[in-house]
Amino acid sequence: MKAMIIGGGFVGHHLAKHLTESCHWETVLTKLPQETISIPGCEAYNLDILDQDAIQALLVRYRPDVIFHLAAQSSVAYSWKNPQMTVDVNIRGSLNVLDAIRAIEGYTPRVLLIGSGEEYGVLPQGTSLVDETVPVHPGNPYAITKATQNLFGTLYAKAYGMQTVMIRAFNHVGPGQAQQFVVSDFCKQAAEISAGVRAPEIFVGNLSAARDFTDVRDVVRAYALLAEHGRAGETYNVGSGTAVVIRDLLDQIIRQSGMEIRVTVDPKKLRSVEVPVIRADITKLARDTSWKPEIALEQTIEETLAYWRSRVKGETEEKTHG
């Protein structure tokens, strides 16, 4: 199997490792020119998804059997600050990928379009567990772009017979994630406190929301299985099936850090609109792939704390020794 991963971010990195090391698929990855990523056995190419001709040229050259489209502006918080850029990358960029594939005659690869659990948005009173049939009510600019990507992917499967499989990924976490996402954010602050470069105070946003967290290494296993067994034209939730209140997540991180830490709400971290609870019904994913999550949140937190401790230590030493 020949795979191409479009988007060399957090998940792209873990997916490339999984496909090369565990699945033994011939894999290439695309990244932005300013990004550095090095996975043994996986060649990396520069690609901006706003350039449809460049996407097409790379596809003609490599002709992958499976395309994982992950490139995106992936932050809900940032999408409030820059909705136009989020629309450009997440809608026009995704459409560029789909149209580049469609323009190549006789070419029908499997295409996984990675969307978000955020697409569901605010649910009817009393509902928190969502399956793929629940109508979407996106509650932020990012979620609107991902819901649109899903609609295009579904439409192109029907209209052109494309082998698209749409994913709604719930919160994925683990070592290597950027600091703007909640688990990384709290673990980085805890690591800085333990290194003595920050006072024992963690700044937080809305602690009452509840989210469905899955370790990124479990998530990429699900993506590889769906590439083989997912039904074309259909949508799959990928999540753990359980929701954790952010306050409990914070308590767990503080407990695992082994320190006394004060918690302060930073109003700048509160969002204009916030979906209160999101939890994935993963019956369809389990039925079609037999996937289930294997890594407990406790282990993910432990490894994410270790990742940030080592990064903060490296950065502190670099500052000290110039």
Interface with ligand A2R by CB under 6 A: which residues? 7-12, 32, 35, 48-50, 70-74, 89, 93, 114, 116, 169, 178
308 binds, among ligand GDD, ligand A2R, none (CB under 5 to 8 A by kind): none
- Is the Cβ–Cβ distance between 260 and 200 less than 8 Å? yes
Beta-carbon count within 10 A of 53 CB: 10
What one-character DSSP code corresponds to residue 289? H
Residues near 73 by beta carbon (within 8 Å), at least 6 away in sequence: 79, 82, 85, 86, 89, 90, 142, 145
Of the candidates 44, 204, 226, 305, which one interacts with ligand GDD according to CB under 6 A? 204
Binding part of the chain for ligand GDD, among 58-66, 115-123, 193-201, 217-225 by CB under 6 A, reads 115-123
Which residue stretches of the chain are H helix? 10-17, 52-62, 76-81, 83-87, 93-102, 141-160, 182-194, 216-229, 246-257, 283-289, 297-321
Kindly state whether residue 182 participates in binding ligand GDD, applying the rule CB under 6 A: yes
Rounded to a whole number of angstroms, the minimum distance from the CB of residue 265 to ligand A2R is: 25
- Is the Cβ–Cβ distance between 289 and 223 less than 8 Å? no
Binding part of the chain for ligand GDD, among 93-101, 180-188, 229-237, 256-264 by CB under 6 A, reads 180-188
Kindly state whether residue 27 participates in binding ligand GDD, applying the rule CB under 6 A: no
CA angle 144, 173, 36 (to 5 degrees): 90
48 binds, among ligand GDD, ligand A2R, none (CB under 5 to 8 A by kind): ligand A2R
Kindly state whether residue 214 participates in binding ligand GDD, applying the rule CB under 6 A: no
Of the candidates 4, 39, 97, 118, which one interacts with ligand GDD according to CB under 6 A? 118
Kindly state whether residue 127 participates in binding ligand GDD, applying the rule CB under 6 A: no
Rounded to a whole number of angstroms, the minimum distance from the CB of residue 308 to ligand A2R is: 16
Kindly state whether residue 271 participates in binding ligand GDD, applying the rule CB under 6 A: yes
Distance (Å, whole) CA 55 – CA 34: 18
49 binds, among ligand A2R, ligand GDD, none (CB under 5 to 8 A by kind): ligand A2R
Distance (Å, whole) CA 39 – CA 278: 33
Of the candidates 188, 211, 217, 284, which one interacts with ligand GDD according to CB under 6 A? 211
Residue 31: its H or E element:
strand 26-31
Kindly state whether residue 281 participates in binding ligand GDD, applying the rule CB under 6 A: no
Rounded to a whole number of angstroms, the minimum distance from the CB of residue 66 to ligand A2R is: 16
Rounded to a whole number of angstroms, the minimum distance from the CB of residue 176 to ligand A2R is: 9
Three-class SS of residue 106? coil
269 binds, among ligand A2R, ligand GDD, none (CB under 5 to 8 A by kind): ligand GDD
Residues near 37 by beta carbon (within 8 Å), at least 6 away in sequence: 8, 12, 13, 16, 29, 31, 44
C-alpha distances in angstroms, 137 versus 33, 55, 94, 101?
A: 35, 31, 20, 29
Rounded to a whole number of angstroms, the minimum distance from the CB of residue 104 to ligand GDD is: 29
Which residues of the shown chain bind ligand GDD in the complex (CB under 6 A)?
74, 76-77, 116-118, 169-171, 180-182, 185, 204-207, 209, 211, 246, 269, 271, 274
